[in-house]
């Protein structure tokens, strides 16, 4: 069985907005932090395709940690949503359940 982290790898630019992280934060430039609200402390670098971020106040982490800190959801809740979106592959399942390529 493929882990949810492997399924999500390289897809965070599309996954994070679907989980509730505003896409305006998903740039590799310093800017406001969606977690603490700091003006110029946050950068989303998606290092190794894992959705990575760094904030000089909040610290850093991967896409699951970012989504959890922004939305208050647990890893298990987020993992279920990612699996619902991508199934057990990197294909996006749209609102009708049909598989759509996520690019």
Condensed to tens digits (0 to 9), the pLDDT of residues 42-84 reads 999 999 999 999 999 999 999 999 999 999 999 999 999 999 9
Which range marks the domain in which residue 21 is found? 4-101
Mean pLDDT (the chain, rounded): 88
Per-residue confidence at 99, pLDDT binned at 50, 70, 90? very low
Number of domains in the chain: 1
Cα–Cα separations (whole angstroms), residue 96 to 35, 78, 100: 32, 20, 10
CATH number of the domain that residue 94 is part of:
3.90.580
Full-model pTM = 0.83
Look at residue 87 in the predicted model and tell me its pLDDT.
81
pLDDT of residue 89: 61
Task: Burial-class residue 11 by CB neighbours within 10 Å (0-12, 13-18, 19+).
Answer: buried
């Amino acid at each position: 069985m493929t882990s949810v982290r492997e399924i999500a790898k390289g897809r965070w630019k599309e996954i994070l907005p679907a989980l509730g992280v505003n896409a305006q934060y998903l740039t590799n430039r310093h800017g406001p932090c969606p977690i603490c609200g700091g003006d110029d402390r946050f950068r989303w670098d998606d290092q190794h395709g894992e959705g990575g971020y760094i904030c000089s106040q909040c610290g850093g982490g991967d896409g699951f940690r970012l989504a959890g800190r922004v939305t208050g959801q647990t890893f298990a809740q987020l993992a279920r949503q990612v699996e619902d979106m991508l199934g057990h592959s990197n294909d996006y399942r749209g609102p009708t359940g049909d598989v759509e390529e996520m690019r």
